[in-house]
Amino acid sequence: MSTKGPGPLVWVAPVLEIGDVKYPLRRLGLMDIEALTSIVVGASRFVDRKLIAGMDKLSAQQIGSFVIEYLPNAFDEIVAFLATVIGLDPGCSRDAVEKKKSKGKDDPNIGTIRDPNVFPLGSEVELITLLTEHQDVLNFFDKFTALTKSGIVKKLTAPSSEPSTDSKNDTAGPTNTSQEDD
């Protein structure tokens, strides 16, 4: 199998600039798929999977409404992912901040991605834009698209040509094996 695309020696990090501070984006890898998959799984629990499958057919207003309605369900996961990409501390959730403040402690989000003096509103849009143009993301989707078009994926996802059979009458209900798992 050939692996084309940028290698570690030729890769140049995209840079998010906020004021005078430059945040180079790190390389993305397998563990990022896990983080993003967790966010997407949360979305699939939130909405009908048909909506997610048809996102390309939605208007910008409909997508915006979806994001605004979904965001509270995965906000901390999204913030944590974005923070790791640029090397910032993700900070604490609103509830954790309120608990610490009620105990007379300082805001634990000072200096983190949740600090508007460090990461002002609008920075997240710039970061997401950089991520959509990130060479690792583009390379992943090129490979993923090629994989989905390959013959083996089509074969694995094709409906079975074998006819479905009914279970025998004496096998209805729990089996010995399933009862042992309980």
pLDDT digits (tens, 9 = 90+) for 139-154: 888 887 888 777 776 7
Phi, psi of 159 (to 5 degrees): -60, 150
What is the count of structural domains for the chain? 1
Phi, psi of 152 (to 5 degrees): -65, -40
Q: 16: which strand partners? A: 23
Residue 1: which pLDDT band, with cuts at 50, 70 and 90? Answer: very low
Cβ(97)–Cβ(109) under 8 Å? yes
Is 85 inside any structural domain?
A: no
pLDDT at 140: 85
Is 99 inside any structural domain?
A: no
Is 135 inside any structural domain?
A: yes
Residue 47: which pLDDT band, with cuts at 50, 70 and 90? Answer: low
Is 147 inside any structural domain?
A: yes
Is 164 inside any structural domain?
A: no
Q: What is the mean pLDDT of residues 155-160?
A: 71
**pLDDT tens for residues 63-83?**
667 777 777 778 888 899 999
pLDDT at 105: 83
Domain range for 140 is 121-156
User: Whole-model pTM?
Assistant: 0.67
User: For the ranges 34-38, 47-51, 54-58, which has the lowest average pLDDT?
Assistant: 47-51
Coil vs helix vs strand at 160: coil
Quote the distance between the C-alpha of residue 78 and its chain's center.
7
% of the chain beyond a pLDDT of 70? 71
Is 67 inside any structural domain?
A: no
d(CA 132, CA 137): 7
Is 129 inside any structural domain?
A: yes
Token match 């992943």: residue? 140
Whose CA is closest to 146, among 117, 7, 138?
138
User: For the ranges 45-54, 66-75, 92-101, which has the lowest average pLDDT?
Assistant: 45-54
